[in-house]
Amino acid sequence: MKTLISNAMIIPMKQEGVFFFGDIGIEGTSISFVGKKPASFIPDKTIDATGMLAMPALVNAHTHLGMQFMRNYKDKEPNLQAWLAEIFPIEDKLTSSDVLASSRLGVIELIQSGITLFNDMYFFAEATARAVNEVGIRANLGLSLFGDLASTKIRIKEREHQIDSAIEASNSRLTLGIAPHAIYTCTKETYQYGHDWAKANHRNMHTHLSETRKEVDDCIAEHQMPPLHYLDSIGALKDVPSILAHCVHLTPSEIELLKGMDASVVHNPSSNCKLASGVAPIGAYLKNGINVAIGCDGSSSNNNQNLFEEIHIASLLSTVFTGHMSTLRPFEALKMATINGAKALGLDKKIGTLEEGKEADILLLDLNKAHLTPLNDPFSALVYAAQASDVDTLFCQGKMVMEKRKVLGLDQQEIQREVNSSWEAIRNR
């Protein structure tokens, strides 16, 4: 199958300030060309993208897709710890079928926000994998770990093989990692066992880190060192690629340590603001050469999967936090949501920029909107003015998963009814 996207404003995301008008060819799963259509390329389908902007699809580098049920729920708690005390009891009631319904709704929301790859940490990963395969986007699914070593061994044994068939059927769109929740919910032995599993299976590790001041203070009180130093001291991150969500309160010595690790920070600005966790010093991380991606977190702490909103808020917070408008330039903010996210998940050779030979994860955004007129600088427009609802069409691995705002392969109205019905049942259990 050959698809031609013609007459688009193209932002390849390879160099700051570079955009041009032209065509993009898709052949099978890959980008055949970016620029001017060669005479030899005869498309089976042509999309006239006049008045549209083409860019790499977005990467949501930290979320919990099964938490769609808890959207707009328990939003009056004073901090993360109080909020978790309300959320954990509800999560204990969830079943695999609940998480499937939630994940289907979450996948729709991701696609409508221009996202084709997400990094997930939640229970019943096999159910989320099924939802992902039904529509054809990408995910790194974390085997979530809580508690002590005995619980960890049971979780891995029960869940690892349940997801294998979904991964095999995904045409490399699905990967599996290990996801110990946090240092305050997992023992040292759980982190070490998870690390050993990740290293033996060549997988990544995904965990929350230094999200709140209380987490840091408690870690220092118990271990006489802050969280990243603690994980380093027990060997939890050694020789495995790591995705560290939040990192709001890293110390200068932790930043120095992080520079030498195979690790990425995931900024979650909305969640951190809502739960009063603080503002991560993203400018300092970028200045020190640390890869920074961006995530929505779960829909209970956000309360949506709108990555354009996260890009916007991240830019505003950076300016307020540092007092300098140039700390996080629009191009750098967009990198966090594209190539940096792909790099965090080990996929930067495949996606994250628009160039010949990469897989065709492409977003088409409708520029014919009042809030995008006049456009002036398209990079600034994407960061400060664009909305998720401006995303018109989305490709993942060359397959169209949304056309003219219609998500293909899932019945949104039926899924919304199923989620509402499941949520009522959950609350009555």
Asked whether 114 and 156 are in contact (CB, 8 A), the reply is no
Mean pLDDT within 317-331: 88
Mean pLDDT within 63-68: 97
Residue 157 lies in a domain: yes
252-269 pLDDT, tens digit each: 999 999 999 999 999 999
Where residue 86 falls among pLDDT bands split at 50, 70, 90?
Answer: very high
Report d(CA 264, CA 173) in Å as an integer.
Answer: 20
Where residue 16 falls among pLDDT bands split at 50, 70, 90?
Answer: very high
Residue 189's domain comprises: 58-344
Residues 21 and 107 in one domain: no
Residues 64 and 50 in one domain: no
Residue 75 lies in a domain: yes
Residue 250 lies in a domain: yes
Which among 346, 419, 392 has a CA at the least distance from the CA of 65? 419
With pLDDT > 90 as the criterion, what percentage of the chain qualifies? Answer: 95
Mean pLDDT within 216-231: 98
Residue 429 lies in a domain: no
Residue 425 lies in a domain: no
Residues 333 and 402 in one domain: no
Where residue 164 falls among pLDDT bands split at 50, 70, 90?
Answer: confident
Inform me whether the pLDDT recorded for 182 exceeds 90: yes
Mean pLDDT within 138-158: 95
Residues 129 and 214 in one domain: yes
407-426 pLDDT, tens digit each: 999 999 999 999 999 999 99
Report d(CA 386, CA 308) in Å as an integer.
Answer: 7
22-47 pLDDT, tens digit each: 999 999 999 999 999 999 999 999 99
Which among 88, 84, 129, 135 has a CA at the least distance from the CA of 110? 135
Residue 352 lies in a domain: no
- pTM of the full structure: 0.97
Report d(CA 177, CA 162) in Å as an integer.
Answer: 14
Report d(CA 246, CA 279) in Å as an integer.
Answer: 9
pLDDT for 303: 97
Report d(CA 80, CA 40) in Å as an integer.
Answer: 57
Mean pLDDT within 116-137: 97
Residues 39 and 169 in one domain: no
Residues 283 and 231 in one domain: yes
Residues 322 and 219 in one domain: yes
Q: What is the mean pLDDT of the chain?
A: 97
Inform me whether the pLDDT recorded for 347 exceeds 80: yes
Report d(CA 122, CA 66) in Å as an integer.
Answer: 6
Asked whether 116 and 396 are in contact (CB, 8 A), the reply is yes
Inform me whether the pLDDT recorded for 298 exceeds 80: yes
Where residue 97 falls among pLDDT bands split at 50, 70, 90?
Answer: very high
Inform me whether the pLDDT recorded for 21 exceeds 80: yes
Residues 323 and 392 in one domain: no
- The CATH number linked to 284 is 3.20.20.140
pLDDT for 235: 98
Coil, strand or helix at 362? strand
Inform me whether the pLDDT recorded for 326 exceeds 80: no
Residues 184 and 265 in one domain: yes
Residues 134 and 146 in one domain: yes
Residue 353 lies in a domain: no
pLDDT for 232: 98
**Cβ neighbours, 10 Å, residue 9:** 19
Residues 135 and 251 in one domain: yes
pLDDT for 71: 97
Residue 24 lies in a domain: yes
| Domain count across the chain | 2
- The CATH number linked to 49 is 2.30.40.10
Residues 8 and 84 in one domain: no
With pLDDT > 70 as the criterion, what percentage of the chain qualifies? Answer: 100
Which among 291, 400, 411, 263 has a CA at the least distance from the CA of 352? 291
Which among 129, 246, 146, 253 has a CA at the least distance from the CA of 189? 146
